[in-house]
């Protein structure tokens, strides 16, 4: 009921849409019906959050995870090749005309445009605490969009006023400073609470977490390390733990389940996806085999197309007590009551390369996910359309769906910032030279995160081990690409990918945007 209340408020506002910064955004707000109460301000700002949610959980997830060593989305008998859009992410062979980066650019600027429009309208509302808080939340959301823009595209147009024409790209450092100032100036108006009253909208901890990310990556964005500032922002969040507003959730696996929500104090800022009210997060559609819905009684179809890279999974298997390893569907699969998933199939249906005289004989096949990935056609990025091909690769079940949902849209809330990330970022800042505070060491912070997952404590930690721990802890939360770039690992080889071009740390400015505005320039290498 709590989630539905928030979602009603979030979606009741005006809806905005644009794929161009100059496209008008329509609103139902007029000078005669400006919001007055806090609830009305939340409703009036709803389109910002629906816009942000629309792209984060699927397209942006694909861009930031499939371009790394963590996951791959392959074709099966031609299905899911989709013009090579997912193959491009794996190979780092995207171009200025690639669809997924273009969609990310359009989604983020659509949300920025919505923020700018709502900002002008709210600024005209009578002065009140609720007005100031809503405007501060809006500014942080806009800053978050610009953070993702500079992280993915480098220099980007900085548009602060709704309706302003886009001219040129602003330097990454200039946008960095804008993100910093907007977030810092908004802090005093944001709420300190971390409960249903602000769930799904920025609070003070959200602002500090965004600044921690900004400063930790400052060397990438500006060429100047700011690790002491990153640590300071992490400490600002850590101080909230004393009052019980934030902390590590006791059950790592349950934290991501379909019934998560405001009771998860580890979530600093999360998108409250909901199968009925706020769609856009469909991980099980991609990860589950096409056989799981039948055996588990699910009411939606799945695709068998996304798989974990074997070397990435190996990071989870190093410690047999680490409960994070339990988030994988691997080897022989079973019903919820423990009985095996047995599927009657002919031998040629199991392996279409089989040519024996008994190829049409039906056998009882135990549904089994194998670890290794075998391509039947590398040019087509295809792993085959038989049972062996469809089931190749371990699958993630981190975001366990509800058995009652009627569509692919899931109700699992997706965290953008959470407390374990804060602890690991502080550990990293210390390893990078920041002065330790609060009696913390990099090792003590990492071990606290590991202890929650029942993993053995380490006796020492270095940068390589920290990156591995981030892979386990932050798995499939849209931060792997960001981490690999900061750790200088984005040019490593994995599976079929051998690209080492550092230009590919940035995605291209969509050619369609340059075609409509000749003052825009392209990133190097494109």
pLDDT attached to residue 18 = 39
Q: How many CB atoms lie within 10 A of CB 191?
A: 18
DSSP string, 471-495: HHHTTTSS-HHHHHHHTT-TTS-BT
Q: Mean pLDDT of successive 10-residue segments in the chain (526 residues)?
A: 42 39 51 78 94 97 98 97 97 98 98 96 93 98 98 96 84 98 98 97 98 98 98 98 97 98 98 95 96 92 96 97 98 94 97 96 97 97 97 98 93 98 99 98 98 98 98 98 98 98 98 95 97
Class of domain 2-20+33-281+411-509: mainly alpha
Q: Tokens 């139902």 identify what position?
A: 28
Report if pTM > 0.85: yes
pLDDT of residue 454: 98
Q: State the pLDDT at residue 517.
A: 94
What is the pairing mode between strands 306-308 and 414-418? unpaired
pLDDT at 29: 56
What is the structure's pLDDT at 162?
84
pLDDT for position 8: 40
Whole-number mean pLDDT of the chain? 93
Structure tokens at 299: 């009411």
Let me know if 79 is exposed, middle or buried by CB neighbors in 10 A (0-12, 13-18, 19+): middle
Residue 35 has what pLDDT? 81
Residue 212 to residue 412: CA distance in whole angstroms:
25
């Amino acid at each position: 009921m709590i989630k539905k209340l928030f979602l009603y408020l979030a979606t009741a506002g005006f809806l905005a849409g644009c794929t161009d910064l100059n496209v008008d955004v329509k609103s139902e707000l007029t000078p005669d019906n400006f919001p007055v109460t806090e609830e009305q301000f939340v409703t009036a700002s709803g389109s910002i959050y629906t816009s942000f949610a629309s792209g984060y959980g699927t397209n942006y997830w694909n861009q930031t995870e499939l371009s790394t060593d963590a996951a791959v989305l392959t074709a099966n008998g031609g299905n899911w090749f989709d013009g090579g859009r997912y193959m491009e992410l794996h190979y780092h062979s995207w171009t200025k005309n690639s669809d997924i980066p273009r969609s990310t650019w359009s989604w983020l600027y659509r949300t920025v445009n919505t923020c700018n429009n709502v900002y002008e309208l709210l600024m005209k509302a009578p002065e009140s605490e609720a007005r100031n808080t809503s405007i501060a939340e809006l500014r942080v959301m806009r800053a978050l969009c610009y953070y993702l823009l500079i992280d993915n595209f480098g220099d980007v147009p900085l548009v602060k006023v709704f309706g302003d024409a886009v001219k040129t790209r602003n330097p990454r450092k200039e946008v960095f400073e804008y993100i910093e100032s907007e977030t810092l100036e908004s802090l005093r108006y944001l709420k300190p609470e971390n409960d249903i009253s602000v769930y799904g909208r920025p609070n003070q901890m959200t602002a500090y977490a965004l600044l921690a990310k900004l400063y930790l990556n400052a060397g990438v964005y500006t060429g100047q390390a700011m690790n002491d500032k990153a640590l300071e922002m992490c400490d600002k969040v850590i101080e909230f733990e004393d009052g019980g507003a934030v902390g590590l959730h006791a059950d790592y696996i349950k934290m991501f389940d379909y019934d998560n929500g405001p009771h998860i104090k580890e979530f600093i800022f999360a998108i409250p996806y909901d199968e009925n009210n706020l769609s856009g997060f469909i991980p099980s559609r991609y990860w589950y085999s096409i056989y799981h819905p039948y055996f588990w009684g699910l009411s939606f179809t799945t695709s068998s197309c996304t798989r974990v890279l074997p070397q990435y999974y190996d990071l989870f298997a190093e410690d047999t007590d680490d409960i994070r390893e339990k988030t994988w569907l691997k080897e022989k699969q079973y019903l919820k009551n423990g009985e095996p998933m047995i599927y009657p199939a002919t031998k040629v249906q199991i392996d279409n390369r089989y040519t024996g005289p008994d190829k049409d004989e039906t056998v009882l096949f135990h549904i089994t996910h194998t670890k290794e990935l075998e391509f039947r056609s590398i040019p087509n990025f295809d792993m085959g359309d038989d049972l062996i091909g469809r089931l190749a690769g371990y699958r993630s079940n981190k975001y366990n769906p509800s058995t009652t949902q009627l569509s692919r849209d899931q109700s699992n809330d997706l965290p953008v910032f959470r407390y374990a990330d804060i602890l690991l970022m502080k550990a990293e800042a210390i390893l990078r030279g920041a002065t330790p505070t609060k009696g913390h060491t990099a090792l003590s912070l990492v071990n606290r995160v590991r202890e929650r997952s029942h993993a053995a404590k380490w006796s020492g930690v270095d940068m390589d081990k920290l990156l591995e721990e981030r892979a386990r802890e932050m798995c499939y939360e849209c931060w792997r690409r960001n981490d690999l770039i900061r750790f200088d690992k984005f040019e490593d080889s994995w599976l079929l990918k051998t690209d080492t071009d550092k230009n590919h740390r940035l995605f291209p400015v969509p050619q369609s945007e340059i075609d409509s505005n000749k003052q825009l320039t392209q990133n190097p290498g494109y």
